[in-house]
Amino acid sequence: MRNLKLMLIVIMSALTLSIYAAGSGNTSLRQLSRLLKKGATPNVKLEKKEKAQIEKLLVSILPDKKYIGDKEWKVVYHDMNKGDFFQVDLKKKGDKSFARLIWFHILYKQEKPKFYGSENFGKYRGMGMKNRHYFILVGKVEIRAVAASDEYKNDKKIKSILKAFKLKDIEKL
């Protein structure tokens, strides 16, 4: 009987932790969504603290360490009067130079365009220039991928990294 009680306590604790973890992921997405919408509003500037927060939150929708391996993300939020965007660079880990392997502009659109791209990218729309760049629209978020190194100047590689983004989460933003 004591073992059964102990097992129930362990199971209940695990369920509580998994529910908390799932909820915190949704909270992060809600915070990211709120800040994206605020920043995309013409002539609205995010505070320094909000910029730092949005840069940190964006990493949660990027391809994870399992996918990028020994590389790292550099994320910078550009707060413009119109058309705020993220500059996201994939770089060799520890590389302090301006060299990047592939880079992305990530933009939040207040209104989803009626037409976007001429190709199907799974359930999304896309367009690009062979072995150079590919753009996709996921909900109201546009992701523009541009190969900067020979390693990524390949359509399959560019599209593969775009598929590794957390597209289902991005769609909710």
pLDDT digits (tens, 9 = 90+) for 110-119: 888 889 999 9
Q: Where are the domains of the chain?
A: 3-171
Question: Residue 69 pLDDT more than 80?
Answer: yes
Q: What is the pTM of this model?
A: 0.83
What residue ranges in the chain does DSSP mark as E strands? Answer: 71-78, 85-92, 102-108, 119-121, 124-129, 133-138, 141-147
Q: Are 87 and 79 in contact (CB under 8 A)?
A: no
Expressed in percent and rounded to 5, the helix, strand and coil fractions of the chain are 45, 25, 30
